[in-house]
A and B are shown apart, each in its own frame.
Chain A
Amino acid sequence: MNRKMTIVIAGAAETSEIGRLPHRSTLGLHLEAAHNALADAGLTKDDIDGIATVGTPGPIQVAHALGITPAWLDGTGVGGSSFLFHVRHAAAAIRAGLCHTVLITHGESGRSRIGATRMGFGPDSLAGQFELPYGVFGPTTTFTIPALRYMKETGLTHEQLAEVAVAQRRWAHLNPRAMYRDLITVDDVLASRMIAYPFHLLECCLVTDGGGALVVPSEERARALGTRKPLVYLLGSGEAAEAPLISQMEDFTSSKAFRLSSRAAFAEAGIEHGDVDHLMIYDAFAHLPIFGLEDMGFVKRGEAGAFIAEGHPSPGGRLPLNTNGGGLSYTHTGM
């Protein structure tokens, strides 16, 4: 085990197109993203000896379709953060000598649902017994429930919640690949269709088709292979989980998983908040960047709404946040 070994991202890419891709299957999206990432790194499939992706189609199918014989596989499937878990797990595997160069793939036909897994929980599952009977209908009816409690406890206003969508649209406006690019106002957000009060349509993420992939070796291996692009260094990472049912989240005003995973990442990296000048926080719904800013310690509890409304995470601000436009405006394949 070489704990000092520096791990890098040597290649990173998305599918050539994102958005509405009815001509691509879920597996096809994985493969296209994988080839694009390999090309970005200047490597071939034969340089890869480790593979990580979520449970379906899964690492066996993806590796076989690419013609890769992996010496190490990871199928961790914990939702949208799975691929960041894979980076952390790949780093550990490389440091342990289990493999040298890991390919992480994502592909999801979230909008067109071509070759996609059927969604749903059995009536005897936890969700089937304790959530589905109440008419929940996907994450818009579960992820969103804590927001009102947060608003009551901290005084966050509906306008401040809407500002999250406004701020991210400013970034999407600058990004030709973003699905929605027209600038919007708080009034536009509050006038958009109510989905699940207090969330309007523009405060909920998109559902799109697309894929992405990463090539993760050690720095030493990347240099030996002669990868093409500047290396991105993995300074620290963390992983955590909270509850399988939204009702069991300990405190509806704070995510334990955000707190614990970020604390671990900061500790490993040995950096302070002031060292961070670019932040990406998952934004399935508009309250999540607010929770993220507070739970990761970038602002104090109850301050994130004003921080966003004052423009600090917007273009030209002091902490650029979700700079591709995020799931609210750029793309969001479902995971």
Chain B
Amino acid sequence: MSASQKPVPKPTPETQPFWDGTAAGELRIQRCRVCRRHYFYPRPNCPHCGSGDVEWVTASGRATLYSYVINHRPAPGFEAEAPYVIAVVELEEGVRMMTNIVGVEPTPENLPLDLELRVVFEKRGDVHIPLFTPAGAAG
């Protein structure tokens, strides 16, 4: 038995296209064909207008840092990373999602709100997790 591991998400039928996207190196979100608005998390109907006429689109992967904490009490599997940043980012398309900010020392000075970010993917089990890194960072 190895040390505790990071949680691996398990897709449902409704979320499978999102996870298929991350595996392909794309951040896919849903958009309503009727009211044209994007939304996240994945679900069958538009939460704005209720329409079921929705499509999957590939987001640009650009986002800004909306808010965050720097967590000093690691969850199981994250012991080696503490302290680490648990953030909510706002995608260019206007929707928000939780993520980790990687590729930068986790200090308040390095992480001003509205910092420009871009998506990167971390393979974990059979799933690719979307993480974000400062847009100016190398790699």
What is the interface of chain A, defined by CB distance below 8 A to chain B? 122-124, 126, 128-137, 140-142, 144-149, 152, 193-199, 245-248, 252
Contacts and interface: CB of A to CB of B under 8 A. Distances in A.
Interface in B9-23: 9-12, 15
Interface of B: 6-12, 15, 41, 66-75, 77-78, 81, 83-84, 86-88, 96-100, 108, 113, 124, 129
Given A126-B41, A129-B10, A136-B75, A248 B87 contact: no
A133 B10 CA distance: 10
9 contacts: A122-B10, A126-B41, A130-B9, A130-B41, A134-B99, A145-B69, A147-B69, A195-B71, A247-B96
Contact of A149 (B67, B74, B97): B67
Contact of A134 (B11, B67, B100): B100
A130 B8 CA distance: 10
B97 A247 contact: yes
Contact of B9 (A128, A137, A140): A128
Contacts of A129: 9-12, 15, 41
Given A124-B12, A133-B124, A134-B100, A197 B84 contact: no
Given A145-B67, A148-B69, A197-B70, A128 B10 contact: yes
A197 B88 contact: no
A133 B8 contact: yes
A128 B19 CA distance: 13
Closest 8 pairs (CB-CB, A-B):
A149-B67, A137-B75, A197-B70, A196-B69, A123-B10, A129-B9, A135-B78, A124-B10
A195 B72 contact: yes
A130 B98 CA distance: 7
Contacts of A146: 67
Contacts of A141: 69, 71, 73, 75, 86
Given A134-B86, A194-B72, A196-B70, A248 B41 contact: yes
Contacts of B11: 124, 129
